[in-house]
Amino acid sequence: MKQKTILITWGIGYIWSHAVVAFEEAGYKTVIVDNLDNSCLSTYRNIWEILGYKPDFYEIDLRDKEKLQEVFKKYSFDWVLHFAWLKAVWESCEKPLHYFDNNIVGSLRLFELMQEYSVKNIIFSSSATVYDWVIYERTDFLGALESDQTGNTSNPYGTTKFLLENILTDLSKFASFNVINLRYFNPVWAHPSWLIWENPEWLPNNLSPFIMKVAAWELPYLNVFWDDYETIDGSWVRDYIDVVDLIDWHLKAYELLENLDFSWFIDSFNLWTGKWISVFEMIEASKKATWKDIPFKIAPRRNWDIASVYCNPNKAKNILDWSAKTPLEDSLKNAWKFYNK
């Protein structure tokens, strides 16, 4: 049987590098396209160390259609895993046009070449930010369902995800694309090798690497953005899924689409653990995992922050018998081992 070839956009980034490793280890050939705008070559070297060989890699911006086309000419792709995003919520609020240009325009160039070269299968990295979280602020919130209303997004980053989900819906209906939207809820922690992890050289955007940098004394304290939300302890609440569990679901999604007999298909799935945790609870759990103090300060609310962001995970479990396996304690310990290493 011919080995399947998969294009992975931004495969040098935090989550996507894990996808390269997982799909290569599962027997697929991956080809990485990354402009290194939000990643660095050290991650590529670490992928090489984990696998024992170099996956093919091209430093290309998706908006450069001519260079991207050369990659499509060279390989006969069976699939695309599309991860090429700028993804910092706060930055998208400050630079919305930059996010629309990178996330939307780059994706359209990719979709155009997929259609031109008859590559119709795509797993799309979507986000919890597509949901209308304002609705949940006003109700007895039990977790977002895939069938719930999307749109009315709270930041430009979420808007790019919402728009692209709708574009892919039309491409499925009118251009015979097979699409799975995977809506992420805070992927965190490290690969078991401790070689790839979310370890930004600049100030972290996400809670987990920020906490680890404080524990490692790289940063003096953690900012907790207000403590008067209507939650269990006043801090905002999120769900955190181990990145290895998250990538395992991408393999499941791939198998789902591989076994379909439809001329076109689209579906969406929430990816999370089903266990939400507040900022203060995460601080306490991190103290136990690292045996370090985590000093923090209460900072003013930010306009884009939402009190509670979590979902109902039953659809993924019922359709593919998938659920997150890694306990929070183990994930935290893996992250701390990365820093010690």
* 131: amino acid identity, one letter: Y
Task: Let me know if residue 212 belongs to a domain.
Answer: no
Percent of the chain clearing pLDDT 70 (strictly above): 94
Task: Let me know if residue 316 belongs to a domain.
Answer: no
Task: Let me know if residue 72 belongs to a domain.
Answer: yes
Q: How many residues does the chain have?
A: 341
DSSP structure class, residue 204:
-
Tens-place pLDDT, residues 105-145:
999 999 999 999 999 999 999 998 899 876 665 445 567 88
Residue 166's CATH number: 3.40.50.720
Q: Which domain holds residue 99?
A: 5-188+240-272
Q: Tokens for 181? A: 């939207």
Name residue, tokens 């209308």: 132
Task: Let me know if residue 53 belongs to a domain.
Answer: yes
Going by their DSSP bridges, the two strands 237-239 and 308-309 should be labelled as parallel
Tens-place pLDDT, residues 221-274:
999 998 999 889 999 999 899 999 999 989 988 988 888 776 678 899 998 888
φ, ψ of residue 336 in degrees (nearest 5): -70, -35
Q: Determine if the pTM surpasses 0.75.
A: yes
Task: Let me know if residue 314 belongs to a domain.
Answer: no
Task: Let me know if residue 250 belongs to a domain.
Answer: yes
Task: Let me know if residue 124 belongs to a domain.
Answer: yes
Task: Let me know if residue 40 belongs to a domain.
Answer: yes
**One of 28, 131, 157, 240 is an active-site residue; which one?**
157
CB 95 within 8 A of CB 278: no
75 classed as catalytic: no
Domain count, the chain: 1
